[in-house]
Amino acid sequence: MSPHALRVLVVDSNAVDRITIRRGLESYGQQVLLEEASDQLSAITAVKFRRFDVIFLDLHLPGTRGAEVLHEMIQCGVEPQSIVLMSDLFRERLIEQTTRFGVDGHVLKSSLSSRESLHAILYEAMAEPEAIAE
């Protein structure tokens, strides 16, 4: 594992979900710099001005579709491989659509309460040489 801090953005309108993820990240054992966004505007602003190693993106943000936020993030230069899409339910069509963007991380929100799931996602991000924060 790298000694560099892992930069993580959590985009979710539900404060309880953000807290759950934050607590799991705090137990990771690696320095994690966490930023939170609760809506599309704050998420896009964050990715325009900062680079993140992992972005947890809720597909059901109020007032927008997650695929629209995903597309906008990619237009801002975010690497699709760094995005982990979260949902209570994934439909096959949605997975196919987001996979075309280059996203291969899809997790059910219910699994994020497991620290092991979060740690596996972070470990994978740290294993990728281009994912290490400079």
9-27 pLDDT tens trace:
999 999 998 888 888 888 7
Q: Is 74 left (phi over 0), alpha (psi -120 to 50) or beta?
A: alpha
Q: Which domains does the chain have, with CATH numbers?
A: 6-129 (3.40.50.2300)
Helix (H) or strand (E) holding 119: helix 115-127
Read off φ and ψ for residue 78, nearest 5 degrees: -70, 135
49 or 125, greater pLDDT: 49
Give the pLDDT of residue 90. 63
Task: Give the residues across from 83 on adjacent strands.
Answer: 55
Task: Tell me the pLDDT band of 125, cut-offs 50, 70 and 90.
Answer: low
Give SS3 for 68: helix
Give the pLDDT of residue 9. 95
Share of the chain above pLDDT 70, in %: 84
**pLDDT tens for each residue of 88-122:** 766 676 677 667 777 777 777 877 777 777 777 77
126 or 77, greater pLDDT: 77
CB contact at 8 A, 70 and 101: yes
Give the pLDDT of residue 124. 73
Does pLDDT of 86 surpass 90?
A: no
C-alpha separations of 100 from 46, 66, 71, 78 in Å: 24, 14, 11, 15
Q: Which two tokens stand for residue 114?
A: 């497991």
pLDDT mean across residues, the chain: 80
Work out the average pLDDT over 72-91.
Answer: 83
Q: How many CB atoms lie under 10 A from the CB of residue 85? A: 24
CB contact at 8 A, 98 and 70: yes
Q: How many CB atoms lie under 10 A from the CB of residue 82? A: 23
